[in-house]
Structure 1
Amino acid sequence: MSDCAVNNTTTAEFHNKKSIHAIRRTLNSNMKCAGVSGTVAVSLLGHTEKVNEENYTYDVSSMEEKSKFMECAGRV
């Protein structure tokens, strides 16, 4: 899987080679943002939910979405 992932992320649209961990972080973060359950993420990525949350989850929401949250927070 690692060689396949590297091959699929070395095209002109990517600036450099991506590790399998970078792909896991992106996939896990995008799944969480999309509302996919932790159980599904665990089954796809092969780690526990705790490991996924601590090591493979990053904020991938758009600035537009963040702005909406900030607007709502200002009304409280």
Structure 2
Amino acid sequence: MKVTVPPDPANARAALRGLAAEQGETLAGLSRLIGAGDRYLDSFVRDGRPRQLSRDRRRTLARYLGVSEAVLGALE
């Protein structure tokens, strides 16, 4: 039996912060990329709101940043 461990939202927030910095992106710019207000991802990273990124937003960010969706909190 395969046991699925839910992703840790704190890891997804840290990963997003690190990936943005590595690639010279701002959280505001990435927020606009996914169709959200400038402070959306800043709130996600700093305050944990929303608790998880929606599937569509996570997918867009993962593709843009060149990482697996799992890095941003999706189940593998």
TM-score (norm 1): 0.31
Greater radius of gyration (CA): 1
TM-score (norm 2): 0.31
